[in-house]
Amino acid sequence: MAEVLFYHLTESRLEDALPDLLARSLARGWRAVVQLASEERRDALDHHLWVFRDDAFLPHGTDAEANAALQPVLLTVSPDQRANQPNVRFMLEGAVPDSLEGYERGVYLFDGHDDSQVEAARKRWTAERGAGHVVTYWQQTEDRRWVRKA
């Protein structure tokens, strides 16, 4: 069973929080796949990860590229994309995977100011617990640190 974490964004945007979480995954020696709800959001995040900081580099690519299997971080809209043999799967903005079986970790990031994302996260919490995964809930503090709430 996978460990499934729910990250409730209350103080920062997805584009601010995600690069750090991806960097932590890479530091563990993991490969990651990031699932988004649309190709437009995938492509926007692809661009953002190249320019989010002047002093940082986050190696990544998209499933629209020929070398998808070689990417440490792979951005996709597909619910079953595993070309880069990821250890961790990130689901953003209500994206739902086919399954988290075979992953060490699944991570749902959702905007606490978007009612539809909050509702989708609640449904996924129930589904992932029902599937037997160990689930935890993390919320941001005012200083943008993560605190485990459940």
Can you tell me the distance from the alpha carbon of 77 to that of 59, in angstroms, rounded to the nearest whole number? 18
We report the CATH number of the domain holding residue 111 as 3.40.50.10110
**Which pLDDT value is given to residue 55?**
87
On whether the CB atoms of residues 49 and 10 are closer than 8 A, the answer is: no
H or E element at residue 88: strand 88-92
Kindly report the pTM of this predicted structure.
0.95
- The parts of the chain modelled with pLDDT lower than 50 are none
> What percentage of the chain has pLDDT greater than the value 70?
100
**Which pLDDT value is given to residue 124?**
97
Q: Which residues span the domain enclosing 38? A: 3-148
- Give me the number of domains the chain comprises: 1
**Which pLDDT value is given to residue 16?**
94
**Which pLDDT value is given to residue 95?**
95
